[in-house]
């Protein structure tokens, strides 16, 4: 990619390494399940109440979506019917009904149309041109402060140019992979030909620019600190062939995005509702504590209104915190998978009594191969919805131009998390009793 992001540890999240996993049901004191007519009976009824409340909530959400579809109620933008950590529904633009207003559809990522990688073009005098920096499947939100280590020549050239001309800005769009055409084999298709570039990207502004090639022995040339100051819409790529040969950085014709098309509208009620829900999530994180490995601390509650509009408003601060929460949960899953894989390898080496510098999956006995594959499958299943949130949900958040709709989208996600935590807290109370 030509850069190595330097992660800043989220100050508002508890460290994963210090988290204590929840105690298994077998760790509950025996006295808690002695009498069928006592606490076990209360536990059974409590579990029923939790499940009933979850069922009622699901029914309520379904009715609200049905009303929106019939045009009887207020439009629901998100349709996020699953809790944080589960897949959230997203309608494809191909599913839009011809002749109907597309605003009633659930949001999806807007990708640039397919274009040949061999035809360069020039910008008109009145068009805005901005460098494009690709950071893979990463979405950056306004207010974020990413640090990058720059070492690839084309991006070193880019930084030299934007520092010299004083613009200090470039756009970072989400990258995806387009499905291969049905008449072409995946092997024959150039990997770069299958790239998808999101139409909307974050605008980075370079705040600090340090040359560190002497300190790093030439491995890294620049250390740069940035601030995301907004979003831009990419209209077209000017030099697409450089996507392939990488001889220089990519440039694009862009336009600045107005992220507050509904400025002047009173959405104070929705902002305060989002704030109350966020506070409830933080309270539940504090209550269940060690039962939730990644959780918010109370220090995140920085204002009475956590949903104010504007690039420097508290809404984007809240969205960045939520993104960090999901990232940390995905990291925890990756750590758990790595530990599981290492345990399988140790078991094999212990049983065989031999050391191998290289070990392939086929070298393992059948039972360990099955165990290894199951571990990977479990990880993919659990990680997929988190990755979906980190890419598609947050991407649709920055391409949405109305503050009110962004509030509704975040509200849906927070409602699901609050519901999940409330059920977990209720079960914890029953075990404690």
Listed by start position, the domains of the chain span 109-178+193-257, 267-432
Give dist(CA 173, CA 312) in Å, integer: 20
Give dist(CA 420, CA 413) in Å, integer: 11
Contacts of residue 361, Cβ cutoff 8 Å, sequence gap at least 6 = 369, 372
Whole-number Cα distances in Å, 303 to 287, 296, 359: 21, 15, 53
The stretch 232-258 carries a mean pLDDT of: 94
pLDDT of residue 318: 96
Backbone dihedral angles phi then psi of residue 319, each to the nearest 5 degrees: -65, -40
Give dist(CA 50, CA 70) in Å, integer: 30
101 vs 13, higher pLDDT: 13
For tokens 């769009």, name the residue. 173
* Three-class SS of 150-194: ECCHHHHHHHHHHHHCCCCEEEEEEEEECCCCCCCCCCCCCHHHH
Secondary structure letter of residue 111 according to DSSP: B
Per-residue pLDDT of 348-371, as tens digits, reads 999 888 788 888 899 899 999 999
CB 206: neighbour CB atoms within 10 A?
A: 18
pLDDT of residue 51: 52
Q: Is the pLDDT of residue 100 over 50?
A: no
Angle among Cα 188, 139, 118 to the nearest 5 degrees reads: 35
**Are the C-beta atoms of residues 238 and 251 closer than 8 Å to each other?**
yes
Give dist(CA 327, CA 393) in Å, integer: 13
**Are the C-beta atoms of residues 375 and 343 closer than 8 Å to each other?**
no
Per-residue pLDDT of 320-341, as tens digits, reads 999 999 999 999 999 999 999 9
pLDDT of residue 388: 93
Q: What is the second-level CATH architecture of the domain 109-178+193-257?
A: Roll (2.30)
Q: Is the pLDDT of residue 201 over 90?
A: yes
269 vs 35, higher pLDDT: 269
102 vs 334, higher pLDDT: 334
**Are the C-beta atoms of residues 81 and 419 closer than 8 Å to each other?**
no
In whole angstroms, what separates CA 204 from the centre of its chain? Answer: 18
Contacts of residue 350, Cβ cutoff 8 Å, sequence gap at least 6 = none
pLDDT of residue 356: 80
**CA torsion sign, 272 to 275 to 280 to 283?**
negative
Contacts of residue 197, Cβ cutoff 8 Å, sequence gap at least 6 = 111, 112, 173, 174, 175, 176, 234, 237
Angle among Cα 167, 171, 172 to the nearest 5 degrees reads: 145
Mean pLDDT is highest, among 240-249, 401-410, 419-428, for 401-410
Give dist(CA 89, CA 407) in Å, integer: 18
pLDDT of residue 199: 97
The stretch 278-286 carries a mean pLDDT of: 94
HSE (CB half, 13 Å, CA atoms) of 59? 6
pLDDT of residue 358: 84
86 vs 401, higher pLDDT: 401
Q: Is the pLDDT of residue 36 over 50?
A: no
Q: Which pTM does this prediction carry? A: 0.74
Query: Alpha helix (H) ranges present in 261-365?
Result: 268-288, 314-352
pLDDT class of 184 with cuts at 50, 70, 90: low
Q: Is the pLDDT of residue 105 over 70?
A: no
The stretch 207-236 carries a mean pLDDT of: 94
Per-residue pLDDT of 119-142, as tens digits, reads 889 999 999 999 999 999 999 999
pLDDT of residue 429: 84
**Are the C-beta atoms of residues 308 and 314 closer than 8 Å to each other?**
yes
pLDDT of residue 55: 54
123 vs 5, higher pLDDT: 123
The stretch 365-392 carries a mean pLDDT of: 94
- What is the end-to-end Cα distance of the chain in Å, rounded? 53
Which residues on adjacent β-strands are paired with residue 232?
A: 201, 256
pLDDT of residue 185: 53
pLDDT of residue 353: 84
Nearest CA among 7, 8, 11, 9 for reference residue 299: 11
């Amino acid at each position: 990619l030509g850069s190595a992001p330097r992660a800043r540890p989220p100050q508002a999240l508890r460290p994963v390494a210090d988290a204590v996993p929840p105690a298994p049901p077998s760790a509950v004191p025996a006295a808690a399940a002695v009498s069928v007519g006592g606490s076990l009976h209360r536990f059974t009824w409590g579990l029923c109440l939790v499940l009933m409340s979850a069922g009622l909530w699901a029914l309520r959400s379904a009715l609200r979506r049905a009303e929106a579809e019939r045009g009887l109620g207020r439009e629901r933008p998100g349709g996020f019917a699953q809790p944080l950590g589960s897949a959230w529904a997203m309608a494809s633009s191909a599913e839009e009904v011809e002749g109907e207003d597309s605003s009633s559809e659930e949001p999806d990522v807007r990708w640039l149309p397919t274009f040949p990688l061999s035809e360069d073009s020039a910008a008109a005098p009145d068009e805005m041109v901005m460098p494009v920096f690709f950071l893979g499947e990463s979405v950056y939100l306004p207010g974020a402060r990413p640090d990058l280590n720059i070492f690839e020549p084309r991006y070193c050239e880019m930084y030299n140019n934007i520092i010299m001309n004083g613009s200090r800005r470039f756009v970072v769009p989400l990258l995806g992979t387009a499905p291969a055409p049905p008449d072409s084999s995946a092997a024959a298709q150039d990997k770069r030909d299958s790239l998808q570039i999101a139409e909307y990207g974050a605008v980075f502004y370079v705040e600090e620019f340090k040359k560190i090639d002497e300190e790093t022995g030439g491995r890294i040339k620049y250390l740069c600190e940035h601030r995301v100051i907004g979003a831009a819409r990419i209209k077209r790529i000017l030099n697409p062939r450089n996507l392939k040969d990488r001889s220089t950085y990519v440039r694009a014709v862009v336009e600045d995005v107005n992220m507050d098309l509904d400025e002047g509208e009173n959405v104070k009620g929705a902002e305060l509702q989002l704030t109350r829900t966020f506070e409830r999530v933080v309270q539940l994180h504090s209550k269940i504590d060690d039962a939730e490995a990644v959780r918010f601390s109370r220090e995140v509650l920085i204002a009475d209104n956590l949903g104010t509009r504007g690039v420097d408003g508290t809404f984007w601060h809240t969205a960045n915190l939520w993104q960090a929460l999901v990232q940390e949960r995905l990291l925890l899953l990756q750590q758990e998978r790595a530990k599981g894989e290492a345990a399988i390898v140790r078991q094999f080496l212990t049983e065989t009594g031999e050391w191998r510098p290289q070990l392939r999956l086929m070298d393992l006995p059948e039972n360990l191969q099955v165990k290894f594959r199951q571990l990977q499958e479990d990880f993919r299943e659990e990680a997929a919805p988190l990755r979906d949130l980190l890419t598609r949900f947050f991407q649709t958040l920055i391409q949405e131009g109305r503050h009110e709709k962004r509030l509704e989208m975040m509200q849906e996600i927070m409602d699901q998390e609050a519901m999940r935590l409330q059920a977990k807290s209720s079960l914890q109370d029953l075990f404690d009793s």
